[in-house]
Amino acid sequence: MSGSRRVCFVCSSALHVKLFAPTIRRVASIGLLQPIIVSLDQFYLGIHGNVTAYAKELQLPAVIVNAGFGRGDQSGLMARIFAAQGTGIRSMVALLSEGRTGLVVLGNDTGHAERAVIRAARARGIQTLLVQDGFLFNQFSAGIFGTLKLILRRIWLAVGGDLIGWVPYGMGGCDAIAVHGIGWQKTICRGKRRATRRIVVTGHPALISPDDHLVIPIAGRDVLFFCSNFLSAYKDAAAHKDQIGEILALKKLLMVRYGENVSLHVKLHPADRLEDYAALTGLPGITLHKDAVLDDLIRKSWLCVTNISSVSLDCLVAGRVCLMSGISLKSASYSQLFARLPGTKFVTWDAFSCWLDQLDSIGGYARVLAMQGESLETWIGEPRQGGERLAALIDELASANAAKGHV
């Protein structure tokens, strides 16, 4: 394998390790490419989960290396820029100069560290591939205001704004972008930059078909709520407070319906802090989870609830219904995002109770789960096919890079 071309999977978070894991295993099994996991743990220390630890836990057949970035998670803007564009980009150029690197794969292109990786790869003449890592929001509508917003953002990027920030997903300048389904293709096509030559529908690379013999837990026992990081990501204290209010209302409704035995588990976003949820700490029947394994929590739950998180895809694979709630999404921007996302939804507590009426029976639960799968079909592609298709695309791009003499 030492003479094989290297493919660098740049992971900003543990979720990216999970996203790339099936493809890494497939690439390694074929033996033509050597997968390398490039961890950005040092830059994102404490907010996105431990890439190195999770990759080792999954026992992935890949060498794990640290990108060598300075710490940027809690720093000011200028410190983050320096950590990424200074020490970070020099470290990445050196890393990519080792061996025969054929391709750089990323799950995100919006952060300072990720954009530094893209610039380093471009400096070495190595192609970059962005793989969709969650739900995408169409920030540039087809109307005049959306078009004007897109034009202004492109001007911003053209004059070097990407060194500072405010880069929408898919506009980081990767050579190719892989999306889960055709439903996302138009979103990416509208905003992509000139450097992006290809947008390929591969299907979700980490999803498999749910087991045909799923065991559904007892109705009403364990409910799992996935929080969005309104506070840590958007500095939106009002939305964060509204989300906590929704969690409290959800707990009250569940207790009235199912009694004191119901347990509400609240999974914090990896970027959130436990102290931000002090209003929920110690309340009877509510358990906060900061670092718990996502898949384990889902499998132990009867029902999952979220607002704008792509975790509904993970729930579908585990055979768990995930209802998307618009209860606490009061701002126009969040409401618009919620309306455009796929999934089984509710916007009132009466509508939520109607869902529960169906979910209380095994047959009803199975019907809602099937409905959930149908609502996501256009957006995620065929289960089991995504990892294989992404691996084939990676091999194609790495081979093309080798033919140009860049490895």
State residue 47's pLDDT score. Answer: 63
Identify the pLDDT of residue 130: 97
Give burial (CB, 10 Å; 0-12/13-18/19+) of 134: middle
What pLDDT score was predicted for residue 187? 85
pLDDT in the model for residue 214: 61
Q: How far apart are CA 173 and CA 251, in angstroms?
A: 44
- Decide: residue 323, CB within 10 A, 0-12 exposed, 13-18 middle, 19+ buried: buried
pLDDT at position 146 is 86
CATH of the domain spanning 5-207+384-403? 3.40.50.2000
- Fold adopted by 222-380: Rossmann fold (3.40.50)
- Domain-wise residue ranges, the chain: 5-207+384-403, 222-380
Closest residue by Cα to residue 226 from 322, 343, 345, 108: 322
Residue type, 5: R
Q: What residues form DSSP beta bridges with 39?
A: 11, 66
Tokens coding 52: 């190195």
State the DSSP code for 85. I
pLDDT at 49: 63
With 0-12 / 13-18 / 19 or more C-beta atoms within 10 angstroms meaning exposed / middle / buried, residue 211 is exposed
CATH topology agreement for domains 5-207+384-403 and 222-380: yes
Residue 73 is predicted with a pLDDT of: 53
Percentages helix, strand, coil for the chain (3-state, rounded to 5) are 45, 15, 40
**For residue 167, what are the CA distances in angstroms to 74, 90, 132, 150?**
19, 22, 15, 11
Q: Which two tokens stand for residue 128?
A: 């970059």
* pLDDT < 50 regions, the chain: 1
pLDDT at 403: 60
